[in-house]
């Protein structure tokens, strides 16, 4: 049974200075614009939200946040990620370090005992609907391939780490060091690391039963996401098919 909707802060993981050379969006002013846009959109979704903005490039946004959102509850923390490690391991490694820093130093997260994580520059239009499935521990989007192909077995490919909801203790126990298992040379990113942990720990009943409508600009592509009605319908249909699969029904 789902618990009451949590009053958890939204953690936005940011790096105004792009240490990963593989991203398309490198301009700092553009990256800053889209981070502020993300804060604005989250407050549109829920003006009462608490937001933790953690930047891994030590970029100070306090004055801009205070000026743009004087009545909002926005906590800004920053630190310097290891640029060389991010260059070698990719932005997934940097993101893991940002979440680790926020879990350790954010007062809002410490007080709430958990958080909703979203990559900065993004927001989730149906956020409140997604929270209806909250179980008090972990809630995420699983990505499945070949669900529409009857001649191929459906494949649990990865967990979408752009957006998830998690209890702080649960995160520390299972995902705090997930980014250390990234293998860049084989394309084994943070998303696959989360999947491996899910499978090895036999996790159950923590996947979203609906498609989270993630909007905003992807740093890797420097373009806005497109979530047409047709795509949302198709992805929700995919989830219905996967949930009826005996192999994956207990995931939801």
Q: Residue 200 — left, alpha, or beta (φ > 0 → left; ψ -120 to 50 → alpha)?
A: alpha
Q: What is the pTM of this model?
A: 0.95
Residue 1 in this model has a pLDDT that exceeds 50: no
Bridge partners, 158 (sequence order):
143
Helices (H), 17-90: 28-45, 62-68, 83-89
Candidate from 4-8, 42-46, 110-114 with smallest mean pLDDT: 4-8
Measured in degrees and rounded to the nearest 5, phi and psi for residue 191 equal -60, -40
Helices (H), 12-61: 28-45
Q: CA–CA separation, 37 vs 23, rounded Å?
A: 19
Residue 5 in this model has a pLDDT that exceeds 60: no
Task: Decide: 118 and 11 in contact? Cβ < 8 Å.
Answer: yes
Q: Which domains does the chain have, with CATH numbers?
A: 10-247 (3.90.550)
How does residue 172 score in pLDDT terms, banded at 50, 70 and 90?
Answer: very high
Helix (H, G, I), strand (E, B) or coil at 227: coil
Quick one: CA dihedral 56, 103, 180, 121, positive or negative?
negative
Bridge partners, 73 (sequence order):
50
How does residue 73 score in pLDDT terms, banded at 50, 70 and 90?
Answer: very high
Bridge partners, 75 (sequence order):
52
End-to-end CA distance of the chain: 12
How does residue 133 score in pLDDT terms, banded at 50, 70 and 90?
Answer: confident
- Residues shown for the chain: 252
pLDDT digits (tens, 9 = 90+) for 27-71: 999 999 999 999 999 999 999 999 999 999 999 999 999 999 999
Only one residue has tokens 């060091």, namely 177
Q: CA–CA separation, 100 vs 94, rounded Å?
A: 10
State CA 27 to chain mean position distance: 22
Residue 6 in this model has a pLDDT that exceeds 70: no
Task: Decide: 69 and 50 in contact? Cβ < 8 Å.
Answer: no
Q: What's the CA dihedral at 81, 82, 86, 88 to 10 degrees?
A: 180
């Amino acid at each position: 049974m789902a618990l009451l909707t949590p009053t958890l802060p939204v953690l936005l993981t940011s790096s105004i200075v792009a240490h990963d050379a593989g991203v398309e969006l490198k301009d700092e002013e553009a990256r800053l614009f889209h981070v502020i846009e993300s804060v604005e959109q989250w407050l549109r979704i829920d003006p009462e939200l608490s937001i933790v903005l953690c930047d891994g490039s030590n970029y100070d946004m306090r004055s801009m946040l205070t000026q743009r959102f004087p009545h909002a509850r926005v906590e800004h923390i920053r630190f310097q990620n290891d640029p060389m490690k991010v260059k070698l391991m990719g932005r997934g490694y940097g993101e893991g370090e940002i979440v680790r820093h926020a879990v350790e130093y954010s007062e809002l997260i410490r007080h709430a005992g958990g958080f909703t994580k979203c990559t900065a520059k993004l927001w989730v239009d149906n956020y409140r609907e997604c929270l209806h499935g909250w179980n008090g521990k972990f809630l995420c989007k699983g990505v499945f391939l070949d669900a529409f192909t009857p001649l191929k077995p459906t494949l649990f490919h990865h967990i979408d780490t752009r957006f998830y909801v998690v209890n702080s203790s649960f995160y520390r126990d299972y995902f705090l060091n997930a980014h250390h298992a990234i293998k860049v040379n084989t394309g084994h990113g943070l998303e696959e690391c989360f999947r491996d942990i899910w499978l090895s720990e036999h996790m159950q009943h923590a996947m979203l039963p609906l498609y989270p409508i993630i909007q905003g600009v992807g740093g890797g592509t420097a373009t806005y996401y497109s979530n047409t009605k047709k795509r949302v319908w198709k992805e929700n249909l995919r989830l219905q098919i996967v949930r009826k699969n005996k192999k994956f029904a207990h995931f939801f």
